[in-house]
Structure 1
Amino acid sequence: MPKTALQRAYGQGLAALPSASLVELLREWLPRQRWFAGKGRGITGLTVLTSTELSPGCLHLLVRTEHLGPPTPDDPATPAADDCYQLLLGVREMLPPRLAPAFIGRLSSGPLNEMVVYDALHDPTAAGLLLERLRSAGSVGPLRFERDARVTVPAGLTPRLLDTEQTNTSLVYGDSFILKVFRRVQPGINPDLEVPWVLARQGCTRVPAPAAWFRTSQPQEATLGVLQPFLPDAEDGWTLALDSLAAGEEFDDQAYALGQATAEVHRALASSFPCDVPTQRQTRALAAEMSERLDATARAVAELEPYALRLRGAFEAVAALGVSRPAQRIHGDLHLGQMLRAGQQWFVIDFEGEPARPLAERRRTQSPVRDVAGMLRSFDYAARSRHPWHPQWAYRCREAFCAGYASAAHWDPREEPGLLRAYETDRAVYEVLYEARHRPEWLPVPMAAVGRLAEHT
């Protein structure tokens, strides 16, 4: 039987795939993906950094994209002028209907001319291959697959793709494990591997421990994905809070327990990673960063500008403070959606931080008050998601959370009102920019907080 074009290409190895035709397909496809960081900025160049064949018809790529111009000063969330993305590509002569959402394009030149290229993370066969690589560990080209030898990962677990994430892609295997694949890759160890791994060895049970992971050694060391236990019956805090509001029920007890869980994780982080006491100079620098974000956002979102002067007062008050509570490793992007309740226990997940921020910034020590402020803002978001909104519900949740935190941390974040208000203001400013760019209909939610915070400054 004569060989097909695809079979002939396999004889050469899929390393021949990164052709000019594929580059053009990816330049058109990448900006349409919700995890693409350069929204609204055209791709001026795309370079394949590494190309690794995992199996016939399955290729792992790291690609660098170049964007139109440098980051704009009016938009602090704009990514850098170039980014690195991780792709798992499949190649077929024909794409079955079930994989239609994964379609990238049809090649028009090279050894795989007229072959179909698709996002292989949608393909159960490719997803199963990733799990098998993690189970067996070892290397494939620059890729290193590693695992915790104390954890048994069964073979043959059925994969399914989650469609809820925006900045990464996650696969669930047999309701036993979940693999987070980092789409935007930065050099260094990702906090979502580093922090759970260290906390697990400290005996902290609030964070699911990594079972396996994979990384690359080229072009630089970087974490590519993490496999962790999946909690199939868990519900996230955001869903539970909305259910409580819909039923007209209080959420105080859960908010108190959330505060306890957060404080326990903070204490484990403080004992696992180095801490430092901020100097007056560092405190002033923090306030200056907050003020710069405020000014940049006010230029980008006209609705914020009338409040900017009064909001800046919260940051100026922080600059005048003396040495505050020690800085430590924190979560960095804590909100109700990052908390899972399984049975009667709350778990904390997703330690990646804000993916748009540089990795070094996400790994640096910061005040635990920042995480507290993120949760307080999340209660406000939940309350305002329903009409008419319930300010007393949010107030009681905020108070209960702080009380629960104080019971486990042995200090109360409300004892540092200036720092708490500054971090909450900074978070609200971030929300204003995010909603203006991505969900304009939600802009009134952070703007309401802006009005309240400006009034009390």
Structure 2
Amino acid sequence: MPPPFGVRRFQPLPSLSYAPEDLHTGVPGERDFGPHVDQTNYSVVVAEKVVVKWLNPPAPLPHPTPEILAHLVEAGFNDTAPPYAALTRAVDGREELLALVTGYLPDAGDGWEWCVDEASAGTAEFASELGRLAAELHLALSPLSSEAGAPEDPAARAEAALREALDLTGGDDGRWLAAHADKIRRELAPLDEPVTGPLIRIHGDLHVGQILRWRDGYAVIDFDGNPTLTEARPYQPAARDVAQLTTSLEHVAQVAVKRRGTPPARAARWAAEARAALLTAYRDGLAEAGRQELLEERLIRPFEVEQECRELIYAARHLPRWRYAPMGVLRSWYTEENIA
């Protein structure tokens, strides 16, 4: 690579060379994912073999993703898009991350597609696979645990999220939220107790949209962290990832009701069944590795409640039409109303 560019390699790239008789492969040399894909960055598929994700804007180094990808390769974790390389550039004496190069997974769709199909059909067999996938990811990331720095105050973080959600949510939803704020705070109360389990390098934005179902199974992607919570510390209880994953199943149920006409009661039963299966498989995965201590069970529910507050903040600041999903979940939790 000519200066000021650089490349960090994780695994060998697949060959993009062809014999003369193979030059007309029938696939485009390059394409993007199309306007229907909601993404912060811009991804290009090359020869149906490689995805180049251009960060928009470039991110200053150090950046979490290259380190995590290198570690996952070393740990033998293969349930992700194969990581090949990171492209960097030096600017005024500082390095920045320009792009990430990973493998293309054929016939892949994210969870906002395939998981909504499952909710509409009322099938939840997939949930056990997701639970095991999350356990294997945390087991692979757990050697990156860190004791450096002062511990985060999870109670203060959750209270701040609730206050911001109350400030940003207007209309009937805002009035409902204010009327139920005391109930929500009671659910957050366990966060006042010290976290006793280990802190590990978590995914940080683990929801069904980050899990692809492709031709050969499931793959977790996007280790950039939560773009709407840039101040979050990378080392957290594993329960935070677990809670975000379980709440995303609740959001899928809301999407199925709104967009597919799934009866609310049936969607609620599906979400409960899928959540239970996912948690059982996750616990079993840790137990088989003798690492049950990674999951501090009492944290799951308050982290789930905090996550719904964060979903309301995200809706207010970035995607107003999304508010129906977290509000539907909260209404189902705190009143006798069905899913909206």
TM over 0.5: yes
Partner of 2:66: 193
d(CA) in 2 for partners of 1:145, 1:346: 28
d(CA) in 1 for partners of 2:333, 2:57: 34
d(CA) in 1 for partners of 2:330, 2:225: 23
State the Cα distance separating 1:192 from its structure 2 match: 2.7
Query: What per-residue deviation string (whole Å, max 9, x for no partner) do you get for residues 72-102 of structure 1?
Result: xxxxxxxxxxxxxxxxxxxxxxxxxxxxxxx
Is the CA contact (8 Å cut-off) linking 1:277 and 1:323 kept in structure 2?
no
Percent sequence identity over aligned pairs = 28
Q: Rg: which structure is higher?
A: 1
Count of aligned pairs between the two proteins: 309
Q: Which residue of 355, 358, 378 corresponds with 2:248?
A: 378
State the Cα distance separating 1:215 from its structure 2 match: 1.0
State the Cα distance separating 1:394 from its structure 2 match: 0.4
d(CA) in 1 for partners of 2:181, 2:67: 37
Q: Which residue of 289, 302, 324 corresponds with 1:444?
A: 324
Residue 224 (structure 1) aligned with residue 105 (structure 2): no
- 5+ residue gaps, structure 2, are 19-27
Partner of 2:154: 286
Q: Tell me: CA distance 1:189–1:154, structure 2 relative to 1, closer, same or farther (3 Å).
A: farther
- 5+ residue gaps, structure 1, are 1-137
Is the CA contact (8 Å cut-off) linking 1:191 and 1:363 kept in structure 2?
no
Partner of 1:341: 213
Q: Tell me: CA distance 1:154–1:362, structure 2 relative to 1, closer, same or farther (3 Å).
A: farther
Is the CA contact (8 Å cut-off) linking 1:192 and 1:352 kept in structure 2?
yes
Of the structure 1 ranges 321-330 and 153-162, higher mean CA displacement relative to structure 2 is found in: 153-162
Equivalent AA in structure 2 for residue 432 of structure 1: L
State the Cα distance separating 1:416 from its structure 2 match: 4.5
Q: Which residue of 21, 28, 33 corresponds with 1:162?
A: 33
d(CA) in 2 for partners of 1:453, 1:148: 44
d(CA) in 2 for partners of 1:374, 1:355: 14
Residue 355 (structure 1) aligned with residue 208 (structure 2): no
State the Cα distance separating 1:417 from its structure 2 match: 4.9
Of the structure 1 ranges 179-188 and 409-418, higher mean CA displacement relative to structure 2 is found in: 409-418
State the Cα distance separating 1:316 from its structure 2 match: 2.9
**C-alpha RMSD over aligned residues:** 2.7
- SS of residue matched to 1:144: strand
d(CA) in 1 for partners of 2:243, 2:44: 31
Is the CA contact (8 Å cut-off) linking 1:269 and 1:328 kept in structure 2?
yes
d(CA) in 2 for partners of 1:149, 1:350: 17
Residue 139 (structure 1) aligned with residue 2 (structure 2): yes
- Which runs of structure 1 show a deviation greater than 4 angstroms over 4 or more consecutive aligned residues? 411-417, 452-456
Equivalent residues in 2 for 1:417-428, closer than 5 Å: 417-428=297-308
Query: What per-residue deviation string (whole Å, max 9, x for no partner) do you get for residues 144-184 of structure 1?
Result: 23435733442587110123133100000111000111103
Query: What per-residue deviation string (whole Å, max 9, x for no partner) do you get for residues 359-412 of structure 1?
Result: xx4562011111111111111111111232210000000000001101111267
Is the CA contact (8 Å cut-off) linking 2:32 and 2:43 kept in structure 1?
yes
Is the CA contact (8 Å cut-off) linking 1:147 and 1:213 kept in structure 2?
yes
d(CA) in 2 for partners of 1:216, 1:233: 33
**Greater relative contact order, per chain length (Cα 8 Å cut-off, separation 6+):** 2
State the Cα distance separating 1:203 from its structure 2 match: 0.9
Query: What per-residue deviation string (whole Å, max 9, x for no partner) do you get for residues 106-133 of structure 1?
Result: xxxxxxxxxxxxxxxxxxxxxxxxxxxx
Q: Which residue of 295, 298, 303 corresponds with 2:163?
A: 295
d(CA) in 1 for partners of 2:227, 2:29: 29
- SS of residue matched to 2:2: strand
TM-score (norm 2): 0.82
Between Structure 1 and Structure 2, the one with more helix by share is 2
d(CA) in 1 for partners of 2:300, 2:11: 42
TM-score (norm 1): 0.62
d(CA) in 1 for partners of 2:216, 2:284: 18
Query: What per-residue deviation string (whole Å, max 9, x for no partner) do you get for residues 401-443 of structure 1?
Result: 0011011112679984531111111110011122234443432
